Amino acid sequence: MSALYPEIEPYDHGLLDTGDGNLIYWEACGNPAGRPALVLHGGPGSGCTTAARRYFDPDAHRIILFDQRNCGRSLPSAADPETDLSLNTTWHIVADIERLRACLGIDTWLLFGNSWGSTLALAYAETHPECVAAIVLSGVTTTRRSEIDWLYRGMAPLFPEEWQRFRQAVPPGSQGRDEDMVAAYHRLLNDADPETRLQAARDWHDWEAASILLADPQGRPRRWADPACLLTRARIITHYFTNGAWLEDAQLLKNTARLIGIPGILLQGRLDIEAPLVTAWELARAWPQSELSILPHAAHSIANPDMSAAIVTATDRFRDFPPK
């Protein structure tokens, strides 16, 4: 039996005009008078899902979801090669979150972020701590250079066949073939030839699928069958990771003093290959008001039953949490 709350539909939605040519899709679910909670999706560039609405008690929470810049239902889409991503950075999204909070008339809210969403939650909370009541993170990442290098080089010995295919998809002689696969794929994903772009997006996701399928043989996201989704996600991810997500290295761990007064729950799968436990452990040590829960049979996916149940339990704990 699923631990998630029943499926629900939004009671409101819209497009937030950022004033710089971007329109951010947002939706509100649950109780309009409930405790505000914000979902920060992963990727970057994955877009929010209907399942993410179900991690909160709909009678108790006003659940806000949004598609980050240039993905999902936000416009323009990164799948269009003409879309300029120069206005899509971590700090643009932090500003979008704050603009959305003000637009919706919210004083403080509970943040929930998975994977890349945990990086974004920390960046927002450290910038606007007065607006954050509590934080729940799963598959914890801070997008340090070492974390990026692990994903696109360090994991190679675990998946030698998949790594060989990932490398060989980069044309011979391309700068960084061995050293910087993110930069090499970033170039391919912005190539003038549409077939080159699409093949690069497919090859990128085949590499990402290696660790997903190890934990769950049926775990490849169905959305990845959509070429537009592949192009959007791969183009945004390589845009971010080529630029170190516009974060000083270990910035989010160094600035945890800004989280004083904010309680947090960190949920980490012991079997998470993509986001190894060490990052969540280091964050818990640096953030005294956080609580680290290690799930022995969970990996990175929030679809894992143990992880889903842990997320619901965590958000329920903040259901009646007093505002700051």
Which residues are the active-site residues?
115, 272, 300
**Which two three-digit tokens encode residue 173?**
């002689």
Cα–Cα distance measured from residue 117 to residue 41, given in angstroms and rounded to the nearest whole number: 5
Cα–Cα distance measured from residue 163 to residue 153, given in angstroms and rounded to the nearest whole number: 8
Q: How many CB atoms lie within 10 A of CB 244?
A: 16
Contact 28, 63 (CB under 8 A): yes
Residues in the chain: 324
DSSP string, 38-97: EEE-STTTT---GGGGGGS-TTTEEEEEEPPTTSTTSBS-TTSTT---TT-SHHHHHHHH
Report strand pairing: 132-138 vs 290-295: unpaired
| Torsion angle of C-alpha atoms 143, 146, 148, 149, degrees rounded to 10 | 180
Helix (H), strand (E) at residue 118: helix 116-127
The number of CA neighbours under 13 Å toward the Cβ of 100 is 30
Contact 236, 85 (CB under 8 A): yes
The conformation of residue 293, written as its DSSP 8-state character, comes to E
Report strand pairing: 61-66 vs 109-114: unpaired
Q: Which residue in the block uniquely carries the two structure tokens 């696969």?
A: 181
Contact 233, 45 (CB under 8 A): yes
Cα–Cα distance measured from residue 85 to residue 280, given in angstroms and rounded to the nearest whole number: 30
